[in-house]
Every structure is written in structure tokens, then in C-alpha cells.
Chain A
Amino acid sequence: MAPVDTHPQIKKRLDKRQRAWKSFRDTLKVFIRVTLYAVGLTVAFYLVALALFLLAPSVGKADEATDSTTSQPAQMPVYDAALGGGSGILPTGLSEDDASYVSISRLESGDASYDDSLVSFRGEVVGEPVNSSSSSHKWVLVQSSGAHTSSIEVLMTNEQVAQIKNWGSYQVKGATVRVTGIYRVADANNTGTLDVTAYVVRVVDEGGPLEPEPVNTHVVVAGASLVVLGGILTGVNFYQRRRSRS
């Protein structure tokens, strides 16, 4: 009797398995190599970018920078993490009434007239708090209501974030907050992000889960009927094909 693995059918099956295993190993090998390449290229991109930036000429930038500091408003509050803390303490000599009340869409559009000034706005918090580079602060996305929404990133202290119980998502209305803080079209403290550093955060409305959207039974019935129709048509197609083959 011939050994089992020399039987043609078994040999064929073994060959097929071996080929599949070889193909899998090859793909895995390529995958690892490409991953290493991608990581290497990413590091190279950062290093090249660093070198290029250090070598790049910054013609006339120094003069303009001096000019821009002198042209800044005299009352410009300097961001200081210690001033936050949800205590409602505003920079020296400023109160909540000094803030300009603006819409989020205005802030989102990068309105330079409000840059580095105290603004106040109202909106719904959505998503979740995202950690920032400072352990005492978190990023919160505040969104306007209505059909056309606008959003703004707000840097809040952990204590301010703790006041918020509901975060907007599907079927959940996030808390509506009134934020007073310093608006910056490109925050130098946060790698140029368009944001607001909150000083005072007041929860106007707690928000909460919404009433579940009613399921339209007509849609379900129509959908089920169409699935059945599709099944029948597939059956007819299958039957036709078999008939034409035979």
C-alpha cells in the first residue's frame, strides 16, 4: 500500500496547503517590511522637516514680531493655568461682563477682531473630553445648535469638565454650557490651534438622553418585503442558470 502522503489527491491538497502557507508567510514578511519602512519614513520625514525648518530663512520675521507685540491690545490677558480651576477667577481687572458675546460660527470663521480677547458664547458639548498636554486641562468640543453647526475647541480645567455630566452623541443631548474665555485664532501655547481657553464655564442645561426615535414600521415592512422579493428573484436567477447549463 502506498504511503498516505503520496496519494495524488492528498499530495495535491498538501501542496495547496503548503502554497497557501507560503503565500501567507510571504505576505506577512512584506507586511512587516512595509511597516518598518513606513515607520522609518515617518521618522525621516520629521527629521528632514526639523532640519529644513532650522535652515529655513526667516526674513524680516523678527521685526514684524516686535511690531505685532506692540500692536496687541493693552488689556490682553495672559493665559495662566493657575487662574482656571473652575473658580470663576478672571485675569486681573476683567469680569464676565467685559466679555463680548459672540456666536460659535463667528469664532469658527477665525474672526481676527476677537483674537486674544475675552469672549463669551454658548453651545452644546459633544463627543468626550480629550486629554491635553497638561494633565490639569482637557479639550472639549463645543457645538452650536441648528441645522448648520459650527464647532470650537475649548481648553477647560479638569474641575470645569467635571461639571459636565452629558456629552452630545446619537440620542444624547450634551450639556449646554456658557463659556467665557480667551479666544485665539492660532494659540501659540497649543501649536497654533484655533481655540478658546476657558476661564468660566457655567452649565446652562444639563442635557441628557433623548426620547428614542420612533421606528417607522412602514419602512421595516417595506424593507422586509424587498428582501423577500430579492430572495425570490435570486432564486429565479439561480433556476434559470441551472436550466441553461443543463
Chain B
Amino acid sequence: MWLRLRINDVCAIVNTLGTLVSGIGAAMLVPIVVALAAGEYRPAASFLFSFGATFALGSAMRLVRPKTRGLSRTQALVVTGLAWVAASLVSALPFVVQGLYASPFDAFFDAVSCYTGTGMSLIQRLSHLPYSFGVWRMIMLAIGAQGIVIMALALGTISKFSGAGMLFEAEGHQDKLMPGMADTSRFIILFMGSFIALGTLVCSLMCLALCGMQPLRAIYHGFSLAVAAAATGGITVMDVGAVYYHQPALYAVLICLMLAGTFSFAVYLRMSTKGPRELLRDVETRMILAWSFVVLTLLAVSFAQDDVFGDLGTFLDKGVFNAVSALTGTGFCTLSSAQLTGVASRAVLFCFILGMAMGGATSSTAGGVKAIRVVVAIKTFVSEVRRVLMPSSAREVIRYYHLGQRTLTSELSRNAMIVFLLFMLTYLVGGMAGVLFGIDPLSAMLESVSCTNNCGISAGVVSPDLPAALKTVYLVQMLAGRLEFVTLLATLASVAVSCVRGFHDSPVGTGLRSMVPENARRAWRGLPARRGPRR
């Protein structure tokens, strides 16, 4: 039986969403200040309008008051699922008002891409984008990388009594790092904020000294690069992407930031009490490093056998940077899409798909299947094989080290396997959708894996000319990958069932189903028609 929402659930959901929407509105004050400081008056007006609309909408939504305090699990799941859509919708508003996209849907696509940290973009003439819009894209990326709920908790937008724990879990953060949710959120924000600050300083200095940029431009580029790398989002402020900078030293700094963003914050926190070895002791970190070694080996062989990119300098400059970008789910790419699909060998493209396929660690800014699920899947598989060979009376306990010694339970295995399979299925479905629209299979697969894992490396398929149906497929993939399926599916199911059948406690005949005559419904189910009034 599908659980239908109650009217009180809807009130709680609308109220919490209103708080989140107001928070997004408050974040728009930053680009307003940037726009005024840079003398960008028309963008400032666009942001003012969007801030006003978001603030008014959020305030109106907050007037809807539920009878109960706190959020239930169902409510938290629906709130989280809808929060990402609502945040993307309101964040796309300034772009629509400014008229930067061919259609509002394209603006929404880009907002989803920013929040999920995918980094695929439909925007044209990025180099002519006002600074305020460039900063706004980075703010969206930073908020999305930590999680909208985490950000709201840390800044006190959501009270810690209003079911914060449920929201925290629903957003895919399984590890409660500190006793309080707000403390945990603050640690994550402080930690990432410090990385972004340090990254901005180093990248700005490099842009200034190595690239030869003007001081203000260097700060703008440095900030964008640091946010995009630490948040593993891969968004750049120039049309050609990271290749614009041409500085191997800058790429090495970006690799540092990408790696810092891809490992688990929970492990970082444990390092303060358990010592620095904790990071390398963790099975998730080991899995990421092992996978990196596999991908780098394959890539080294592919580059060595490539006629065009087959020299050491090119491999160290292009190969390593792009491989780390794919492995961490960042999406920076110093190879153009034409080079990726037409000039480099297919083996190189395949290596990037493999690199993207796993993703980072749990409680990190990276998306994807997550390394711990792959570990659990491998351990489950090995234990199954071993069980077949053991006597039937034997029982095996499988342990692994992830934030302390843990035992592999059947529930943990099942959960990991379900998400793992859903990811694989989504890769295939997205790839098939691309092929249906006439895209080369390997490029379609690259695009599909890139969207689902929120990576952003593209074969040049995502462009404003892309059919709306395929854009929608990629959009759903981005959201599904970020919310790790369960939250999105639960949201869709709750909303759909409640819309079709009506709310649990609403009067009979309010759902969409009631619009269809009862006998027609009975005929659909193969039942005989009912005669006379229903008793």
C-alpha cells in the first residue's frame, strides 16, 4: 500500500520549503552587492526582482502552519526532494529576468546543474557574463555541494528542532559527525569554507603571477576555480573551460582541492581524535585510491599508445588532471569535446567513463555511486562466493573499517546493492536515450554517466540545440544522482499517489482518480460494471 500524504504533511512540507526558499532569496543579496560594486545596474535590478519574488514566495509559504512541530520521515524525504527543485526554480529566476538563456527551461537546467555540482551548461557567451551572475553560479554550486539542508542548518535558517536529523539523512548524509546536527553542519561549512578561502588565495595569486591577469580578474578567476574545485563542480567562467589557464602549476593546485573535496568529512573529523592515519585506514579512501590507480594505469596505457597525445608531457598535463577531475566527479576538462570524441583514441574516452563511474566518498562534495557502496557490493559478492564453498553450518562475519570497525549486515548489503544497481540502470537508460536521439553510443554513455554522477565532463552533446526530451532525461539523471534515488523516488511516489488518490484525510473524491468514472476504472481492472448508487 502506498502511503498517502495528509493535509498536515502538506502544511509541514510547504512551511519548511518556504524557509528554504527564503534562505535562497537571502543568498541573492550577495550578487546584488557584487553587481552594485561592479557597476552592473541591470543585473542588480534582475537580482532585486528575483530576491523580492523569492522572499515574498518564501514568506507566503511560511504562513502555512502545520499542527505538529518537527518533520516525520516521509515529510523530510518529500521536503528534501522538492527543496532541490524549488531552489533551482527560484535560482533560475535572475537568469530568466536578465534574458541570458534561449528559454526558461534552459535556465532551470543550468540551475539544477549548478546545485547538483554537475557543471554542464547551456549558457552562451560565458566570457560576457556579468560578474554578479558568475558569482551567483558559484554560490549555487557551493550551496549545492554541501547540501541545501546542511547550509540551512548551519546558517540557522532551519531550526534544529524541526526534524533536522530527518532532513540530514534524506539528503544522503548518513554519517552524523557530531552530537548536534547544527554542529555537524557548521563543521562542514567551516571546513569547506577554509578550503575555498585558501584555494581562492592560492589560485588568485597564480592567476596574477603565472597567467598575468589584472588583480580583480585574478581574484574573480581564483575564487571561481577554488569553489569549482573544492565543491567538485567543475564550473568555469570562460567558454573553453579549464584549458583557458594553460598553467600546469595551477592545475596541480586544483588537483589538491579536488582531492580534498572528494574524501569523507567524517574521516577528516575523526583525524582530529584518532590521528592522521585514519584517512588511509578507512576502506572508502583505500577504494578511491585503488580505483584511481586502476584508471591511471589504463589511461597511461591509452595515452602511450595514442598517436596524438602519446608523449609524457601531454599525459602529465592533460591525462592526470582530467583523470583526477573524472575520478573526483569535478568535471574540469582540458581536452575539448572535439578532442575527446574525435582526436583522442576511444580508449581514452572509455577511461574517463570508467573514472567517473564510481564517484567520491560519502559525506563529501562528490557525487556518484560512492566508494563505500562499491566496497560493500564487492564484499557481499565475495562473501556469497565464499559461503557456497563453506559447510552449511558455518557463519561468516565480514568486518571492514569505515569510521570505526563495522560489521557487514544483510540490510547494509541490500541497501548498497539497490543503489548500486539503480545507478547502473540509470547509466544504461540515459545512454540508450542518447542513442535514440542519434548520438554516438560511447558519447551518449559518457554524457549519461557524467550527468548521473554529477561530474560534468561532456562530449559536447549538451548544448542549447539539444531536444527538450533529452535535456529532461539529463536533468532527472542529475537530480537522481545527487539525491541518490531513494529521496527522489519517495518524493515522486508520495506526490503522485496523493495527487491521484487524494490526501489521506481529505474528503472522498478530491484526487485526480475521482475524475475518472468508477465504472471506467473497474473496466480497466477487468471488473464488471457496478449498477446503481454506491452504498
Residues of A within 8 A of B (CB): 26-27, 29-31, 33-35, 37-39, 41-42, 45-46, 48-50, 52-61, 64-65, 68, 108-110, 112, 126-133, 138-139, 141, 143, 147-149, 151, 153, 168-171, 185-186, 188, 190-194, 212-216, 219-220, 222-227, 229-231, 233-234, 236-237, 240, 244
Contact = CB atoms under 8 A, between A and B. Distances in A.
A104 to B, nearest CB: 11
B310 A108 contact: no
Contact of A233 (B53, B56, B198, B312): B56
B113 to A, nearest CB: 18
7 contacts: A50-B316, A110-B336, A130-B213, A186-B343, A226-B56, A233-B56, A233-B59
A226 B53 contact: yes
B296 A49 contact: yes
Contacts of B500: none
B58 interface: yes
B338 A194 contact: yes
A149 B125 contact: yes
B212 interface: yes
B312 A215 contact: no
A30 B268 contact: yes
Interface stretch (B79-87, B126-134, B407-415, B445-453): B126-134
SS class, residues of chain A in contact with chain B: helix
B246 interface: yes
A36 to B, nearest CB: 8
Nearest to B297: A52
Interface string B273-307: 00010010000000000001100110011011101
B194 A110 contact: no
A190 B336 CA distance: 14
A233 B63 contact: yes
A240 B65 CA distance: 10
Contact of B59 (A58, A109, A131, A230): A230
A133 B248 CA distance: 10
B420 to A, nearest CB: 26
| Interface bin, chain B | 35 or more
A109 B312 CA distance: 25
B128 A169 contact: yes
Contact of B296 (A52, A143, A193, A240): A52
Contact of A192 (B128, B213, B314): B314
Contacts of A223: 45, 48-53
SS class, residues of chain B in contact with chain A: helix
Nearest to B301: A56
Nearest to A65: B307
Interface string B196-220: 0010000000000011111001000
Nearest to B48: A223
B521 interface: no
B301 A57 contact: yes
Given A53-B315, A148-B465, A227-B52, A42 B259 contact: yes
Interface of B: 25, 40-42, 45-46, 48-53, 55-56, 58-60, 62-63, 65, 97, 102, 124-125, 127-131, 187, 190-191, 194-195, 198, 210-214, 217, 238-240, 243-247, 252, 255-257, 259-260, 263, 268-269, 271-272, 276, 279, 292-293, 296-297, 300-301, 303-305, 307-320, 323-324, 334-336, 338-339, 342-343, 463-465
A193 B214 CA distance: 24
Given A37-B276, A57-B304, A130-B246, A168 B128 contact: yes
A216 B97 CA distance: 10
Contact of B48 (A52, A139, A220): A220
Contacts of A133: 246
A172 to B, nearest CB: 8
B279 to A, nearest CB: 6
Contacts of A27: 187, 190-191, 194, 272
Nearest to B273: A26
Given A112-B342, A230-B52, A126 B336 contact: no
A39 B313 CA distance: 20
A147 B101 CA distance: 10
B149 to A, nearest CB: 21
A58 B210 CA distance: 34
Contacts of B301: 52, 56-57
Contacts of A212: 41-42
Nearest to B464: A148
Contacts of A49: 296, 300, 315-316, 319-320, 323
Contact of B211 (A130, A193, A222): A130
A212 B38 CA distance: 13
Nearest to B210: A131
Nearest to B59: A233
Given A42-B255, A143-B239, A213-B41, 8 more contacts: A31-B194, A49-B296, A52-B297, A147-B124, A170-B131, A193-B243, A212-B42, A240-B63
Nearest to B309: A192
B363 to A, nearest CB: 13
A226 B259 CA distance: 43
3 interchain residue pairs of minimum CB distance: A226-B52, A110-B338, A230-B55
Contact of A236 (B63, B305, B307, B464): B63
Contacts of A231: 55, 59
Contacts of B308: 185-186, 192
